[in-house]
Structure 1
């Protein structure tokens, strides 16, 4: 009889262990389901954040493109302006030289006329 009691005790303990294992499995499956839900929420939050970052990057790229185009345009205009100023400088120098040369000829002619008039008297 002692053996039968030990066997029945052992069976009771096995049933208790099975019940405890079932409870632990249920608790674990609930925790896993909760964790999966949290992971889905985090994933959605991350996706929203990444979408905002992508939109911000797109906006910044557009701004950088506009700034770059403005700088390139300004540099081209600056080069054109420098060329125009250089051309104007040489044109004015040439005109000044002609004016000096022309005025010296006029002065010579006036002096020549004055001398001829004074010498002939």
Structure 2
């Protein structure tokens, strides 16, 4: 079976459709390449942002650990100082009592 011969008009239309199809394929390829490049750029940007977020998170965690340690140290110092104040107050009251007792003894 032989194909039917095309008229000049049909042949021109076929060439025009072939050219249009080729143009569409080129545009699709260009868009695909642009999308691929854009997605690569977005992936690189996201990778950079993830790294930055990890650094920030590590710094925050270290800061929190230091803060907790500092709070514990301050609580220990506060307890030590409280005992020092209590000891000094008891010692001072004893000294004042002895001085008053000596004064009363000297007066009588």
TM-score between both structures, scaled by the size of structure 1 = 0.75
Q: In the TM superposition, what are the counterparts of 1:39-54 in structure 2 within 5 Å?
A: 39-54=28-43
Match of 2:7, SS state, is: helix
1:79 pairs with 68, 85, 106, which one?
68
Aligned-pair Cα RMSD in Å: 1.9
What CA distance in whole angstroms lies between the structure 2 residues aligned with 1:52 and 1:34?
A: 27
Please list every run of 5 or more consecutive structure 1 residues that lacks an aligned counterpart in the other structure. Answer: 1-13
Please list every run of 5 or more consecutive structure 2 residues that lacks an aligned counterpart in the other structure. Answer: none
Q: Which has the larger radius of gyration?
A: 1
Q: How far off its partner does 1:117 sit?
A: 4.3
Q: How far off its partner does 1:36 sit?
A: 0.9
Q: How far off its partner does 1:101 sit?
A: 0.7
**Greater helix percent: which structure?**
1
Q: How far off its partner does 1:85 sit?
A: 1.4
Aligned pairs, number = 105
What CA distance in whole angstroms lies between the structure 1 residues aligned with 2:10 and 2:64?
A: 78
Partner of 1:57: 46
Partner of 2:58: 69
Partner of 1:3: none
Partner of 1:105: 94
